[in-house]
Structure 1
Amino acid sequence: MSDTLTATSTLAGRGIRLSRRNLDAVITSLMMPIMLMLVFVYFFGGAIDTGTAHTAYVTYVVPGVLVLCAGFGAAGTAVAVSEDMRRGVVDRFRTLDIGGTPLLAGHVAAAVARNTLSTALVLGVAFLIGFRPTAGPGGWLAAAGLLLAFITAVSWLSAAAGLVARSPEAAGAVTFFMMFLPYPSSAFVPIDSMPGWLHGFAEHQPVTPLIESMRGLLLDRPVGDAPWIALAWCAGLFTLALAASGVLFRLRTR
Protein backbone atom coordinates (compact mmCIF):
# COMPACT_ATOMS: atom_id res chain seq x y z
CA MET A 1 0.00 0.00 0.00
CA SER A 2 2.78 2.45 0.89
CA ASP A 3 4.56 1.71 -2.40
CA THR A 4 1.33 2.40 -4.31
CA LEU A 5 0.80 5.71 -2.49
CA THR A 6 4.42 6.72 -3.10
CA ALA A 7 4.15 5.90 -6.80
CA THR A 8 0.83 7.75 -7.07
CA SER A 9 2.18 10.91 -5.43
CA THR A 10 5.31 10.80 -7.61
CA LEU A 11 3.27 10.39 -10.78
CA ALA A 12 0.87 13.14 -9.68
CA GLY A 13 3.88 15.45 -9.41
CA ARG A 14 4.90 14.35 -12.89
CA GLY A 15 1.42 15.19 -14.19
CA ILE A 16 1.58 18.67 -12.71
CA ARG A 17 5.04 19.26 -14.22
CA LEU A 18 3.76 18.13 -17.61
CA SER A 19 0.89 20.60 -17.27
CA ARG A 20 3.35 23.43 -16.65
CA ARG A 21 5.15 22.52 -19.87
CA ASN A 22 1.89 22.55 -21.85
CA LEU A 23 0.86 26.06 -20.89
CA ASP A 24 -1.38 26.67 -23.89
CA ALA A 25 -3.68 23.78 -22.94
CA VAL A 26 -3.65 24.82 -19.28
CA ILE A 27 -4.49 28.43 -20.09
CA THR A 28 -7.30 27.30 -22.38
CA SER A 29 -8.82 25.05 -19.70
CA LEU A 30 -8.52 27.85 -17.14
CA MET A 31 -9.80 30.68 -19.31
CA MET A 32 -12.64 29.02 -21.23
CA PRO A 33 -14.98 28.71 -18.21
CA ILE A 34 -14.26 32.32 -17.28
CA MET A 35 -14.95 33.51 -20.82
CA LEU A 36 -18.18 31.51 -20.96
CA MET A 37 -19.30 33.00 -17.65
CA LEU A 38 -18.62 36.52 -18.91
CA VAL A 39 -20.47 35.81 -22.15
CA PHE A 40 -23.54 34.44 -20.39
CA VAL A 41 -23.61 37.17 -17.75
CA TYR A 42 -23.00 40.19 -20.00
CA PHE A 43 -24.36 39.02 -23.36
CA PHE A 44 -27.32 36.84 -22.40
CA GLY A 45 -27.96 37.46 -18.72
CA GLY A 46 -30.23 40.45 -19.25
CA ALA A 47 -32.56 38.41 -21.46
CA ILE A 48 -32.75 35.28 -19.26
CA ASP A 49 -35.50 34.97 -16.68
CA THR A 50 -34.36 32.55 -13.98
CA GLY A 51 -37.52 32.90 -11.93
CA THR A 52 -35.52 34.30 -9.01
CA ALA A 53 -36.20 38.01 -9.03
CA HIS A 54 -33.95 38.77 -6.08
CA THR A 55 -30.94 36.85 -7.39
CA ALA A 56 -28.54 38.38 -9.92
CA TYR A 57 -27.94 36.18 -12.96
CA VAL A 58 -24.23 35.90 -12.15
CA THR A 59 -25.12 34.32 -8.82
CA TYR A 60 -27.47 31.91 -10.58
CA VAL A 61 -24.94 30.87 -13.23
CA VAL A 62 -21.73 30.44 -11.21
CA PRO A 63 -22.50 26.92 -9.87
CA GLY A 64 -23.01 25.71 -13.44
CA VAL A 65 -19.76 27.30 -14.60
CA LEU A 66 -17.89 25.60 -11.76
CA VAL A 67 -19.22 22.25 -12.95
CA LEU A 68 -18.28 23.18 -16.51
CA CYS A 69 -14.68 23.63 -15.32
CA ALA A 70 -14.56 19.95 -14.45
CA GLY A 71 -15.48 19.06 -18.02
CA PHE A 72 -12.68 21.16 -19.48
CA GLY A 73 -10.20 19.71 -17.00
CA ALA A 74 -11.40 16.21 -17.84
CA ALA A 75 -10.42 16.65 -21.49
CA GLY A 76 -6.83 17.31 -20.43
CA THR A 77 -6.76 14.12 -18.36
CA ALA A 78 -7.91 11.96 -21.28
CA VAL A 79 -5.36 13.55 -23.61
CA ALA A 80 -2.51 13.06 -21.10
CA VAL A 81 -3.33 9.36 -20.59
CA SER A 82 -3.63 8.78 -24.33
CA GLU A 83 -0.31 10.55 -24.91
CA ASP A 84 1.41 8.28 -22.39
CA MET A 85 -0.02 5.23 -24.13
CA ARG A 86 1.00 6.46 -27.59
CA ARG A 87 4.57 7.34 -26.65
CA GLY A 88 5.25 4.09 -24.83
CA VAL A 89 5.66 5.80 -21.46
CA VAL A 90 3.37 3.24 -19.84
CA ASP A 91 5.60 0.37 -20.97
CA ARG A 92 8.60 2.05 -19.39
CA PHE A 93 6.77 2.47 -16.10
CA ARG A 94 5.71 -1.18 -16.18
CA THR A 95 9.37 -2.22 -16.34
CA LEU A 96 9.74 -0.37 -13.02
CA ASP A 97 6.90 -2.47 -11.58
CA ILE A 98 4.46 0.44 -11.59
CA GLY A 99 0.93 -0.76 -12.31
CA GLY A 100 -2.01 0.90 -13.93
CA THR A 101 -3.67 2.17 -10.76
CA PRO A 102 -0.80 4.46 -9.62
CA LEU A 103 -0.29 5.72 -13.15
CA LEU A 104 -3.94 6.65 -13.70
CA ALA A 105 -4.35 7.89 -10.12
CA GLY A 106 -1.40 10.22 -10.70
CA HIS A 107 -3.13 11.71 -13.72
CA VAL A 108 -6.36 12.06 -11.75
CA ALA A 109 -4.60 13.76 -8.83
CA ALA A 110 -2.96 16.23 -11.22
CA ALA A 111 -6.38 16.87 -12.81
CA VAL A 112 -7.93 17.58 -9.40
CA ALA A 113 -5.13 20.07 -8.68
CA ARG A 114 -5.68 21.81 -12.03
CA ASN A 115 -9.43 21.93 -11.46
CA THR A 116 -8.95 23.38 -7.99
CA LEU A 117 -6.93 26.23 -9.49
CA SER A 118 -9.52 26.74 -12.24
CA THR A 119 -12.34 26.81 -9.67
CA ALA A 120 -10.48 29.40 -7.59
CA LEU A 121 -9.96 31.62 -10.64
CA VAL A 122 -13.60 31.36 -11.70
CA LEU A 123 -14.75 32.22 -8.19
CA GLY A 124 -12.37 35.17 -8.04
CA VAL A 125 -13.69 36.60 -11.31
CA ALA A 126 -17.27 35.84 -10.26
CA PHE A 127 -16.85 37.90 -7.08
CA LEU A 128 -15.42 40.75 -9.15
CA ILE A 129 -18.49 40.84 -11.42
CA GLY A 130 -21.09 40.61 -8.67
CA PHE A 131 -21.34 37.04 -7.36
CA ARG A 132 -22.80 37.33 -3.88
CA PRO A 133 -23.43 33.98 -2.14
CA THR A 134 -24.97 33.96 1.32
CA ALA A 135 -23.73 30.56 2.54
CA GLY A 136 -22.11 30.03 5.88
CA PRO A 137 -18.97 27.90 6.43
CA GLY A 138 -21.03 24.69 6.44
CA GLY A 139 -22.64 25.52 3.10
CA TRP A 140 -19.29 26.33 1.52
CA LEU A 141 -17.75 23.09 2.79
CA ALA A 142 -20.69 21.01 1.56
CA ALA A 143 -20.62 22.65 -1.88
CA ALA A 144 -16.86 22.20 -2.14
CA GLY A 145 -17.15 18.55 -1.12
CA LEU A 146 -19.79 17.86 -3.77
CA LEU A 147 -17.76 19.58 -6.46
CA LEU A 148 -14.61 17.70 -5.45
CA ALA A 149 -16.47 14.38 -5.61
CA PHE A 150 -17.71 15.21 -9.11
CA ILE A 151 -14.27 16.35 -10.29
CA THR A 152 -12.72 13.11 -9.04
CA ALA A 153 -15.36 10.93 -10.69
CA VAL A 154 -15.15 12.79 -14.01
CA SER A 155 -11.35 12.69 -13.96
CA TRP A 156 -11.40 8.89 -13.55
CA LEU A 157 -13.91 8.65 -16.40
CA SER A 158 -11.58 10.73 -18.53
CA ALA A 159 -8.63 8.51 -17.65
CA ALA A 160 -10.65 5.52 -18.86
CA ALA A 161 -11.53 7.47 -22.04
CA GLY A 162 -7.84 8.10 -22.61
CA LEU A 163 -7.25 4.34 -22.57
CA VAL A 164 -9.99 3.80 -25.16
CA ALA A 165 -8.85 6.52 -27.57
CA ARG A 166 -6.13 5.64 -30.04
CA SER A 167 -4.74 9.17 -30.26
CA PRO A 168 -4.64 12.29 -28.06
CA GLU A 169 -6.88 14.08 -30.57
CA ALA A 170 -9.49 11.34 -30.31
CA ALA A 171 -9.20 11.42 -26.52
CA GLY A 172 -10.19 15.08 -26.48
CA ALA A 173 -13.20 14.31 -28.65
CA VAL A 174 -14.29 11.41 -26.42
CA THR A 175 -14.67 13.76 -23.45
CA PHE A 176 -16.92 16.16 -25.39
CA PHE A 177 -20.00 14.55 -23.84
CA MET A 178 -18.81 15.45 -20.33
CA MET A 179 -18.21 19.06 -21.38
CA PHE A 180 -21.64 19.16 -23.02
CA LEU A 181 -23.65 17.88 -20.02
CA PRO A 182 -23.99 21.23 -18.20
CA TYR A 183 -25.79 22.80 -21.16
CA PRO A 184 -28.96 20.61 -21.12
CA SER A 185 -29.28 21.14 -17.35
CA SER A 186 -30.25 23.94 -15.00
CA ALA A 187 -26.76 25.45 -15.22
CA PHE A 188 -27.61 28.43 -17.42
CA VAL A 189 -31.40 28.54 -17.66
CA PRO A 190 -34.24 26.93 -15.68
CA ILE A 191 -35.27 23.54 -17.03
CA ASP A 192 -38.89 24.75 -17.35
CA SER A 193 -37.78 27.13 -20.10
CA MET A 194 -36.54 24.23 -22.27
CA PRO A 195 -38.67 22.26 -24.76
CA GLY A 196 -40.85 19.69 -23.04
CA TRP A 197 -39.19 16.71 -24.74
CA LEU A 198 -35.89 17.73 -23.10
CA HIS A 199 -37.19 17.98 -19.52
CA GLY A 200 -36.77 14.31 -18.67
CA PHE A 201 -33.11 14.18 -19.63
CA ALA A 202 -32.29 17.59 -18.13
CA GLU A 203 -33.87 16.70 -14.78
CA HIS A 204 -32.35 13.23 -14.44
CA GLN A 205 -28.84 13.59 -15.76
CA PRO A 206 -25.80 13.67 -13.40
CA VAL A 207 -25.01 17.38 -13.27
CA THR A 208 -28.48 18.79 -12.60
CA PRO A 209 -28.74 17.61 -8.95
CA LEU A 210 -25.13 18.68 -8.43
CA ILE A 211 -25.77 22.20 -9.75
CA GLU A 212 -29.05 22.52 -7.84
CA SER A 213 -27.31 21.38 -4.65
CA MET A 214 -24.44 23.82 -5.05
CA ARG A 215 -26.78 26.68 -5.91
CA GLY A 216 -28.95 25.97 -2.87
CA LEU A 217 -25.98 25.54 -0.54
CA LEU A 218 -24.21 28.71 -1.72
CA LEU A 219 -27.41 30.76 -1.49
CA ASP A 220 -28.40 29.20 1.85
CA ARG A 221 -31.65 27.76 0.49
CA PRO A 222 -33.32 24.37 1.02
CA VAL A 223 -31.78 21.65 -1.17
CA GLY A 224 -33.96 18.65 -0.30
CA ASP A 225 -32.44 15.33 -1.35
CA ALA A 226 -30.50 16.81 -4.29
CA PRO A 227 -27.08 16.47 -2.57
CA TRP A 228 -27.66 12.78 -1.91
CA ILE A 229 -28.71 12.21 -5.51
CA ALA A 230 -25.62 14.07 -6.68
CA LEU A 231 -23.38 11.98 -4.41
CA ALA A 232 -25.03 8.80 -5.67
CA TRP A 233 -24.27 9.84 -9.25
CA CYS A 234 -20.66 10.65 -8.32
CA ALA A 235 -20.21 7.32 -6.53
CA GLY A 236 -21.72 5.42 -9.46
CA LEU A 237 -19.57 7.20 -12.04
CA PHE A 238 -16.46 6.74 -9.91
CA THR A 239 -17.08 3.02 -9.42
CA LEU A 240 -17.81 2.52 -13.12
CA ALA A 241 -14.72 4.47 -14.17
CA LEU A 242 -12.44 2.68 -11.72
CA ALA A 243 -13.59 -0.76 -12.88
CA ALA A 244 -13.49 0.17 -16.56
CA SER A 245 -10.03 1.73 -16.34
CA GLY A 246 -8.64 -1.42 -14.71
CA VAL A 247 -10.04 -3.64 -17.46
CA LEU A 248 -9.03 -1.28 -20.26
CA PHE A 249 -5.48 -0.90 -18.92
CA ARG A 250 -5.00 -4.67 -18.89
CA LEU A 251 -6.37 -4.94 -22.44
CA ARG A 252 -4.17 -2.12 -23.77
CA THR A 253 -0.98 -3.42 -22.16
CA ARG A 254 -1.24 -7.11 -22.95
Structure 2
Amino acid sequence: MLQVVPSVSIISIARNNKEGLANTYRSVLPQTYKNWELILVVAPSQDGTIALSENLASSDPRIKILAQNGLGIYSAMNQGLKKANGDYVWFLNSGDEFYDDATLEFALKQIQLLNADLLIGGYSVSGDSNSQPYLKSAKRLSSFEFAFNRRGGCHQAMLFHKKKVLEFGGFDIDFELASDFDLVMKIVKGENSFRAERVFACIEPGGVSDQRIYDVIREKHQIRRSHFGRKTPLLFISIGWGIAVKSKIRARNFLRSLSKAL
Protein backbone atom coordinates (compact mmCIF):
# COMPACT_ATOMS: atom_id res chain seq x y z
CA MET A 1 0.00 0.00 0.00
CA LEU A 2 1.42 3.37 -1.00
CA GLN A 3 1.93 5.90 1.79
CA VAL A 4 0.25 9.25 1.20
CA VAL A 5 2.78 12.08 1.17
CA PRO A 6 1.67 14.76 3.63
CA SER A 7 0.70 18.09 2.15
CA VAL A 8 2.06 20.02 5.12
CA SER A 9 5.00 19.45 7.43
CA ILE A 10 4.67 20.99 10.88
CA ILE A 11 8.10 21.62 12.35
CA SER A 12 8.37 22.04 16.10
CA ILE A 13 11.52 22.87 18.06
CA ALA A 14 11.64 21.70 21.67
CA ARG A 15 14.09 22.12 24.54
CA ASN A 16 13.25 21.71 28.22
CA ASN A 17 9.59 22.42 27.49
CA LYS A 18 7.68 19.22 28.13
CA GLU A 19 4.43 20.99 29.00
CA GLY A 20 4.71 23.30 26.01
CA LEU A 21 5.34 20.40 23.65
CA ALA A 22 2.29 18.60 25.03
CA ASN A 23 0.18 21.71 24.38
CA THR A 24 1.47 21.99 20.83
CA TYR A 25 0.69 18.33 20.14
CA ARG A 26 -2.81 18.70 21.61
CA SER A 27 -3.49 21.51 19.13
CA VAL A 28 -2.16 19.52 16.15
CA LEU A 29 -3.93 16.21 16.76
CA PRO A 30 -7.58 17.40 16.43
CA GLN A 31 -7.00 19.43 13.26
CA THR A 32 -9.77 18.73 10.76
CA TYR A 33 -7.10 18.39 8.06
CA LYS A 34 -5.33 15.09 8.72
CA ASN A 35 -2.70 14.82 5.97
CA TRP A 36 0.15 16.27 8.00
CA GLU A 37 3.43 15.20 9.51
CA LEU A 38 4.89 16.60 12.72
CA ILE A 39 8.68 16.86 12.84
CA LEU A 40 10.04 17.34 16.35
CA VAL A 41 13.56 18.75 16.51
CA VAL A 42 14.53 18.10 20.11
CA ALA A 43 17.55 19.56 21.89
CA PRO A 44 19.15 17.94 24.97
CA SER A 45 16.67 18.40 27.83
CA GLN A 46 16.38 17.49 31.50
CA ASP A 47 12.63 17.81 32.08
CA GLY A 48 11.12 14.87 30.20
CA THR A 49 10.82 16.60 26.84
CA ILE A 50 12.75 13.82 25.09
CA ALA A 51 10.70 11.04 26.68
CA LEU A 52 7.47 12.78 25.73
CA SER A 53 8.59 13.23 22.12
CA GLU A 54 9.47 9.54 21.94
CA ASN A 55 6.08 8.57 23.33
CA LEU A 56 4.31 10.79 20.80
CA ALA A 57 6.30 9.35 17.90
CA SER A 58 5.57 5.78 18.99
CA SER A 59 1.84 6.53 19.11
CA ASP A 60 1.52 8.14 15.65
CA PRO A 61 3.53 7.34 12.49
CA ARG A 62 3.02 10.93 11.30
CA ILE A 63 5.37 12.14 14.06
CA LYS A 64 9.16 12.05 13.58
CA ILE A 65 11.97 12.96 15.95
CA LEU A 66 15.28 14.61 15.08
CA ALA A 67 18.01 15.22 17.65
CA GLN A 68 19.03 18.86 17.26
CA ASN A 69 22.57 18.90 15.86
CA GLY A 70 23.34 22.62 15.87
CA LEU A 71 23.05 25.71 18.01
CA GLY A 72 20.16 28.16 17.83
CA ILE A 73 16.51 28.03 16.94
CA TYR A 74 16.98 28.82 13.23
CA SER A 75 19.59 26.10 12.80
CA ALA A 76 17.09 23.67 14.32
CA MET A 77 14.30 24.93 12.06
CA ASN A 78 16.56 24.43 9.03
CA GLN A 79 17.27 20.91 10.22
CA GLY A 80 13.56 20.14 10.37
CA LEU A 81 13.05 21.75 6.96
CA LYS A 82 15.56 19.40 5.34
CA LYS A 83 13.53 16.40 6.52
CA ALA A 84 10.13 17.82 5.58
CA ASN A 85 8.14 15.80 3.05
CA GLY A 86 5.19 18.18 2.65
CA ASP A 87 4.66 20.73 -0.09
CA TYR A 88 4.04 23.31 2.63
CA VAL A 89 5.75 23.94 5.97
CA TRP A 90 4.51 25.43 9.22
CA PHE A 91 6.95 26.31 12.02
CA LEU A 92 4.99 25.81 15.25
CA ASN A 93 7.45 25.51 18.10
CA SER A 94 6.82 23.83 21.44
CA GLY A 95 4.41 25.90 23.51
CA ASP A 96 2.76 27.42 20.45
CA GLU A 97 -0.64 26.19 19.31
CA PHE A 98 -3.02 26.34 16.37
CA TYR A 99 -5.78 28.80 17.19
CA ASP A 100 -8.60 26.35 16.48
CA ASP A 101 -9.18 22.89 15.04
CA ALA A 102 -9.87 24.16 11.50
CA THR A 103 -6.80 26.40 11.19
CA LEU A 104 -4.70 24.02 9.11
CA GLU A 105 -7.52 23.15 6.72
CA PHE A 106 -8.44 26.80 6.18
CA ALA A 107 -4.84 27.93 5.60
CA LEU A 108 -4.07 25.13 3.13
CA LYS A 109 -7.19 25.85 1.10
CA GLN A 110 -6.36 29.56 1.00
CA ILE A 111 -2.71 29.22 0.01
CA GLN A 112 -3.63 26.75 -2.73
CA LEU A 113 -6.49 28.93 -3.97
CA LEU A 114 -4.17 31.93 -4.18
CA ASN A 115 -1.26 29.83 -5.51
CA ALA A 116 0.78 31.82 -2.99
CA ASP A 117 4.32 31.45 -1.70
CA LEU A 118 3.34 32.55 1.79
CA LEU A 119 0.14 33.06 3.78
CA ILE A 120 0.21 35.05 7.03
CA GLY A 121 -2.56 34.94 9.62
CA GLY A 122 -3.16 36.71 12.89
CA TYR A 123 -2.08 35.52 16.31
CA SER A 124 -2.87 35.82 19.99
CA VAL A 125 -0.63 35.54 23.06
CA SER A 126 -1.19 32.74 25.58
CA GLY A 127 -2.18 33.82 29.05
CA ASP A 128 -2.83 37.45 28.11
CA SER A 129 -6.53 37.86 28.87
CA ASN A 130 -6.37 41.61 28.27
CA SER A 131 -4.94 41.34 24.77
CA GLN A 132 -7.02 41.05 21.61
CA PRO A 133 -5.62 38.89 18.79
CA TYR A 134 -3.36 40.73 16.36
CA LEU A 135 -5.27 40.53 13.11
CA LYS A 136 -5.06 42.37 9.78
CA SER A 137 -7.39 42.55 6.79
CA ALA A 138 -6.91 40.09 3.93
CA LYS A 139 -4.73 41.46 1.13
CA ARG A 140 -1.62 40.92 -0.99
CA LEU A 141 1.50 41.94 0.95
CA SER A 142 4.13 44.46 -0.06
CA SER A 143 7.69 44.58 1.23
CA PHE A 144 7.17 48.04 2.72
CA GLU A 145 4.03 47.06 4.60
CA PHE A 146 5.59 43.99 6.15
CA ALA A 147 8.88 45.72 6.95
CA PHE A 148 7.26 48.52 8.92
CA ASN A 149 4.59 46.76 10.91
CA ARG A 150 5.68 45.62 14.36
CA ARG A 151 2.72 43.28 14.77
CA GLY A 152 2.84 42.28 11.13
CA GLY A 153 3.26 38.59 11.78
CA CYS A 154 5.16 35.85 13.57
CA HIS A 155 6.42 32.64 11.98
CA GLN A 156 4.06 30.56 14.14
CA ALA A 157 1.15 32.07 12.21
CA MET A 158 2.58 31.58 8.73
CA LEU A 159 2.18 28.85 6.13
CA PHE A 160 5.10 28.68 3.68
CA HIS A 161 5.38 26.96 0.33
CA LYS A 162 8.40 24.75 0.97
CA LYS A 163 9.96 25.20 -2.45
CA LYS A 164 10.10 28.98 -1.92
CA VAL A 165 11.76 28.60 1.48
CA LEU A 166 14.32 26.21 -0.02
CA GLU A 167 14.91 28.62 -2.88
CA PHE A 168 16.37 31.04 -0.33
CA GLY A 169 18.26 28.34 1.55
CA GLY A 170 16.00 28.36 4.58
CA PHE A 171 16.80 30.62 7.52
CA ASP A 172 20.00 32.67 7.54
CA ILE A 173 21.67 31.66 10.80
CA ASP A 174 23.81 34.82 10.75
CA PHE A 175 20.71 36.44 12.25
CA GLU A 176 20.29 35.08 15.74
CA LEU A 177 16.89 36.61 16.56
CA ALA A 178 15.19 37.85 13.40
CA SER A 179 16.03 35.37 10.65
CA ASP A 180 12.32 34.67 10.18
CA PHE A 181 11.83 38.38 9.44
CA ASP A 182 14.66 38.19 6.89
CA LEU A 183 13.18 35.14 5.16
CA VAL A 184 9.73 36.71 4.92
CA MET A 185 11.23 39.90 3.49
CA LYS A 186 12.89 37.82 0.75
CA ILE A 187 9.68 35.97 -0.07
CA VAL A 188 7.39 39.01 0.06
CA LYS A 189 9.64 40.78 -2.43
CA GLY A 190 8.31 38.32 -5.03
CA GLU A 191 4.83 39.89 -4.66
CA ASN A 192 3.09 36.56 -4.19
CA SER A 193 2.45 36.66 -0.44
CA PHE A 194 -0.88 37.30 1.24
CA ARG A 195 -2.54 37.99 4.55
CA ALA A 196 -5.60 36.10 5.71
CA GLU A 197 -8.18 37.78 7.93
CA ARG A 198 -8.16 34.93 10.39
CA VAL A 199 -6.19 34.11 13.53
CA PHE A 200 -3.84 31.17 12.94
CA ALA A 201 -1.86 30.69 16.15
CA CYS A 202 -1.67 31.26 19.87
CA ILE A 203 1.96 31.85 20.81
CA GLU A 204 3.75 31.23 24.08
CA PRO A 205 5.26 34.44 25.51
CA GLY A 206 8.60 34.81 27.24
CA GLY A 207 10.84 33.45 24.51
CA VAL A 208 14.28 34.74 23.67
CA SER A 209 12.83 37.36 21.29
CA ASP A 210 10.76 38.81 24.12
CA GLN A 211 13.73 38.76 26.46
CA ARG A 212 16.02 40.49 23.95
CA ILE A 213 13.56 42.75 22.18
CA TYR A 214 16.06 45.59 21.64
CA ASP A 215 18.45 43.17 19.90
CA VAL A 216 15.54 42.04 17.71
CA ILE A 217 14.89 45.68 16.73
CA ARG A 218 18.58 46.11 15.88
CA GLU A 219 18.66 42.99 13.69
CA LYS A 220 15.48 44.01 11.89
CA HIS A 221 17.06 47.36 11.02
CA GLN A 222 20.07 45.52 9.57
CA ILE A 223 17.72 43.37 7.51
CA ARG A 224 15.76 46.37 6.20
CA ARG A 225 19.04 48.05 5.26
CA SER A 226 20.08 44.91 3.38
CA HIS A 227 16.78 44.64 1.50
CA PHE A 228 16.11 48.30 0.74
CA GLY A 229 19.69 49.56 0.37
CA ARG A 230 21.79 51.98 2.40
CA LYS A 231 21.02 55.16 0.44
CA THR A 232 17.25 55.09 0.13
CA PRO A 233 14.83 57.18 2.23
CA LEU A 234 13.57 53.90 3.66
CA LEU A 235 16.82 53.59 5.61
CA PHE A 236 15.96 56.74 7.57
CA ILE A 237 12.40 55.51 8.03
CA SER A 238 13.83 52.30 9.48
CA ILE A 239 15.99 54.25 11.95
CA GLY A 240 13.02 56.33 13.03
CA TRP A 241 10.84 53.24 13.22
CA GLY A 242 13.29 51.53 15.56
CA ILE A 243 13.45 54.59 17.84
CA ALA A 244 9.66 54.80 17.93
CA VAL A 245 9.24 51.12 18.79
CA LYS A 246 11.84 51.32 21.58
CA SER A 247 10.14 54.41 23.00
CA LYS A 248 6.78 52.66 22.99
CA ILE A 249 8.20 49.64 24.79
CA ARG A 250 9.91 51.80 27.43
CA ALA A 251 6.71 53.80 27.99
CA ARG A 252 4.65 50.62 28.33
CA ASN A 253 7.13 49.10 30.80
CA PHE A 254 7.16 52.32 32.82
CA LEU A 255 3.38 52.39 33.05
CA ARG A 256 3.32 48.75 34.13
CA SER A 257 5.88 49.35 36.87
CA LEU A 258 3.99 52.45 37.99
CA SER A 259 0.74 50.51 38.10
CA LYS A 260 2.34 47.83 40.28
CA ALA A 261 3.80 50.47 42.61
CA LEU A 262 0.37 52.01 43.10
Global fold match (TM > 0.5) = no
Relative contact order higher in (CA < 8 Å, ≥ 6 apart): 1
Q: TM-score, normalized by length of structure 1?
A: 0.30
TM-score of the pair, normalised by structure 2 = 0.29
Point out the structure with the larger helix share. 1
